[in-house]
Structure 1
Amino acid sequence: MLFLCLLFALVYMFASEIFGQMRWFKWIDERKEQFKNVIVTPFTRNKKQLDILKRVGMIIFILSLSMLLLLVVKNVVYKVVPFGKTNAAAELLKYEKERIANPKVPIVTYTLTYQYTDKDGTLYKTKKNVSSATYNRYKGKRFIPIMYRKNLPYDTFIENRSMGEFISPLFSVPTFIFACVGYLVFFLIKKYVEVWGIPFIRTD
């Protein structure tokens, strides 16, 4: 649900910049304002209550998006930090390449399924989305070098052994989406500070 709200917000924000002056978009914008008026009408009698509702709603939305970004940052940190992980050779079981969306805007996803054993001999099986460079490098091969966290063996990372494997994820669809999320968080925080100031800090 949060993802759908985020997607709608991003689409509307970019659409307003491109189609803001077009008649059909103005009609949509008018319907949006009418719907918003229906929602906020019960609070209009008390402006202070309405202002509090707006502030709380904005803070909750910003925190929700920030939590999403923190999860991504956490995974990147776990992969980059050199300690707390164990190297292993995983056996590749399946290679998947899937094309989604329409032919005019092709989006291709790459997935590798592999299994490995930890130092205690426990077998784990993982299905992981990878970049095109990683997929092409290991397609048809039997083993792939991985790292797993010592305290969470099921949490794995594929070792990058070429420049392409480092660069390819930067131009992927997920990276673009998270970059948009980061921009949206920055935009909302800036807007909040402009309207209400820094939270929990009173200004005269």
Structure 2
Amino acid sequence: MGEIPTNSKSIFVLITFLFITIGFTWLYIHFSSTIKDEPVEETIELKYSKKGLYLYPRYEILVSNSDRPSTVSKEQFESIEAGDTISGYMKNKDTFVTEKDIQFEKLLGIPILIALYLVVFIFGAGLLKNTTFIKNKLAYKNIVQKIFMTSLLTLLGLYLLTGLILIALITTNIFHKINPWNQTEVTATVLGGDHNETRSQRGASYTTYELFLHFQDQEGNDYITKKAVTGTTYNKYDLGESIPLIYRNNNADDTFIATKSANEIWPAFLNLYTFFIGFYLFSVFAMIRGWRKKKKRQQEKDTALHNTI
């Protein structure tokens, strides 16, 4: 990585990230200390599994006095039914959260906090090591350089680890999708649908589609799943119609649409997940290529120096 120039632009970037980091830290601490201020018990109105296009199934419930679904563990999901009461907390007057929700939000916030602090350390150390005072003090310069490199390598490791975990989850899901020896095909009924459009300031939009489906496994057990689908599949089936569905024999909540046309499949490759994976793989390739070029130049320089001696 090149030197970070000591100029007003770099200082502005450092100050910006510093304020963002302080603000996010305050939000995280405030959330952790106040989220359980209002414990309640609510009645479960509906429970269902939620299965995306690429990741493993999750388990959600809808309760009274809450406009948003809440998540529960698989073990808790299997032990509760509609009409039961469940303990949790009111995040605000219209949002009920469970322990699972709180754990997820905290878990999501930790790597974001780590990444923000690492960026601050990288920019701070990068600017500091170029000051006259540090340049003239070898011991201080070595310390600042170690902080800079440690922060940079840790941030890089966090980025690589995040991408590898996501790729592993997607690969596992694809394996289950194409593994016919652990699948059963059934006919599900469309109970409803939902779509969410996210539009940017420049007018671009990204829409996700989900269908509420009811089906029975081979033993006659009833299941309700909220299944992510492509726009083609979403528009193909109306309320009350039958739709072919596949579930894993050892986990009936892990479902896949038995698509009958390529037009239902290819839109699944044009979304934020595939964009991130594509960007991630390209960036890893670029880093490896850059590292190899740098190593080759260093070897050529060492060879030239050896020949002159």
Q: 2:244 corresponds to which letter in structure 1?
A: P
Checking the alignment, whether the CA contact within 8 Å between 1:90 and 1:145 is kept in structure 2 is yes
1:187 equivalent in alignment to 2:278: no
1:45 paired residue among 142, 148, 160: 142
C-alpha deviation, 1:27, in angstroms: 6.3
Structure 2 residue aligned with 1:19? none
Q: 2:281 corresponds to which letter in structure 1?
A: G
Superposition TM-score, scaled by structure 1 size:
0.68
Determine helix, strand or coil for the equivalent of 1:45: helix
- Quick one: structure 1 residues 32 and 79, their matched pair in 2 at CA, closer, same or farther if it must change by over 3 Å? same
Checking the alignment, whether the CA contact within 8 Å between 2:191 and 2:239 is kept in structure 1 is no
1:162 equivalent in alignment to 2:143: no
1:75 equivalent in alignment to 2:173: yes
Q: 2:199 corresponds to which letter in structure 1?
A: A
- Quick one: structure 1 residues 175 and 60, their matched pair in 2 at CA, closer, same or farther if it must change by over 3 Å? closer
1:135 equivalent in alignment to 2:234: yes
Checking the alignment, whether the CA contact within 8 Å between 2:209 and 2:229 is kept in structure 1 is yes
1:31 equivalent in alignment to 2:20: no
Alpha-carbon distance between aligned partners in 2 of 1:49 and 1:132, rounded to the nearest angstrom? 48
Q: 1:85 corresponds to which letter in structure 2?
A: Q
Checking the alignment, whether the CA contact within 8 Å between 1:66 and 1:185 is kept in structure 2 is no
Alpha-carbon distance between aligned partners in 2 of 1:28 and 1:112, rounded to the nearest angstrom? 48
- Tell me the number of residue pairs that the alignment of Structure 1 and Structure 2 aligns: 172
- Higher strand share goes to which structure? 2
Structure 1 residue aligned with 2:77? none
Structure 1 residue aligned with 2:161? 63
- Quick one: structure 1 residues 73 and 115, their matched pair in 2 at CA, closer, same or farther if it must change by over 3 Å? same
1:112 equivalent in alignment to 2:198: no
Alpha-carbon distance between aligned partners in 2 of 1:28 and 1:138, rounded to the nearest angstrom? 54
- Quick one: structure 1 residues 49 and 29, their matched pair in 2 at CA, closer, same or farther if it must change by over 3 Å? closer
Larger radius of gyration: 2
Alpha-carbon distance between aligned partners in 1 of 2:281 and 2:214, rounded to the nearest angstrom? 34
- Quick one: structure 1 residues 141 and 54, their matched pair in 2 at CA, closer, same or farther if it must change by over 3 Å? same
Structure 2 gaps of 5+ residues are 1-6, 16-119, 130-139, 297-309
Superposition TM-score, scaled by structure 2 size:
0.48
By relative contact order (CA 8 Å, sep 6+), the higher-ranking structure is 1
44-53 or 100-109, which deviates more? 44-53
1:78-128 CA distance string (max 9 Å, x none)? 112222111111111112233221482122221111121222222221112
Structure 2 residue aligned with 1:87? 185
Q: 2:191 corresponds to which letter in structure 1?
A: L
47-56 or 80-89, which deviates more? 47-56
C-alpha deviation, 1:179, in angstroms: 2.0
Instruction: Give identity over the alignment, percent.
Output: 23
Structure 1 gaps of 5+ residues are 1-25, 198-204
